[in-house]
């Protein structure tokens, strides 16, 4: 079976990203920088063959994906399996507020306890299983083709771990930049990492060029 090439993209920046406020399943829009980032990543991918652009239904991802679909001419398909992890009662709080108001929960979260589930949310294990199941379903339908998946930081983190065979508790040493281009291959044996955190299209020269 031919491999499926995947371009994985985290949505553009939101005001809550700047404030380090947990978004989870809350539907927060892109800020002005995020809208610019969406246009830039769309421009960077404009010349590439893309069979389908898949996106989380949350608007920060969907708006980013719309720009990519427009620039590539690929159809846009929404899939709730690409949503961010649900953080339950953490959602709407900043990291500092969680540390102050929920210190015991914050400790288990910092330790990346795979089974820890914020009230009303998902555990890391549940998230990983959801993402692996979703990627398998989407990628298996596109053997020999390239697809784009626009999602969230937690989703991209899981994709990296699956591709590099790292467990959920391994310390994160890789970037999850907004609107970066990340490349993977999928076969029935799983994911392989090809390239990660390409942000050339977001550098200062790119910003100066588009703001003149």
List the catalytic residue out of 11, 25, 62, 142. 11
- 8: Cα separation from own chain's centroid: 7
Per domain, the residue ranges of the chain are 4-210
Let me know if 97 is a catalytic residue: no
Q: Token pair of 138, please?
A: 């989407």
Q: How far is CA 189 from CA 131, 136, 165, 193, in A?
A: 15, 10, 12, 13
Those residues with Cβ within 8 angstroms of residue 153's Cβ, 6 or more apart along the chain or in another chain: 10, 84, 176
- Three-class DSSP category at 76: strand
Task: Tell me the mean pLDDT per 10 residues along the chain, length 212.
Answer: 95 97 97 98 97 98 98 98 97 95 93 95 98 98 98 98 97 97 98 98 69 40
Give residue 212's pLDDT.
37
Q: Token pair of 157, please?
A: 């983190």
Give residue 211's pLDDT.
44
Those residues with Cβ within 8 angstroms of residue 150's Cβ, 6 or more apart along the chain or in another chain: 9, 10, 11, 53, 54, 55, 56, 61, 62, 64, 65, 68, 82
Let me know if 11 is a catalytic residue: yes
Q: How far is CA 145 from CA 28, 49, 81, 123, in A?
A: 32, 8, 21, 32
Give residue 108's pLDDT.
92
List the catalytic residue out of 13, 25, 62, 84. 84
What is the second-level CATH architecture of the domain 4-210?
3-Layer(aba) Sandwich (3.40)
């Amino acid at each position: 079976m031919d491999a499926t090439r995947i371009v994985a993209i985290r949505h553009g920046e939101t005001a809550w990203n700047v404030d380090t406020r947990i978004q989870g399943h809350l539907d927060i829009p892109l800020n002005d920088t995020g809208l610019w980032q969406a246009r830039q990543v769309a421009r960077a991918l404009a010349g590439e063959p893309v069979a389908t652009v898949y996106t989380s239904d949350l608007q920060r991802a969907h708006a980013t994906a719309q720009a990519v679909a427009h620039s590539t001419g690929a159809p846009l398909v929404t899939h709730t399996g690409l949503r961010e992890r649900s953080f339950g009662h953490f959602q709407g709080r900043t990291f500092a507020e969680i540390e102050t108001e929920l210190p015991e929960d914050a400790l288990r979260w910092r330790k990346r306890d795979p089974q820890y589930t914020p009230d009303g949310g998902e555990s890391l294990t549940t998230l990983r299983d959801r993402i692996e199941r979703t990627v398998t379903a989407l990628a298996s339908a596109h053997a020999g083709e390239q697809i784009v998946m626009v999602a969230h930081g937690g989703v991209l983190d899981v994709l990296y771990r699956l591709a590099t065979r790292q467990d959920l508790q391994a310390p994160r040493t890789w970037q999850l930049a907004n609107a970066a281009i990340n490349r993977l291959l999928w076969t029935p044996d799983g994911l392989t990492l090809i390239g990660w955190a390409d942000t050339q299209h977001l550098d200062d020269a790119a910003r100066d060029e588009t703001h003149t």
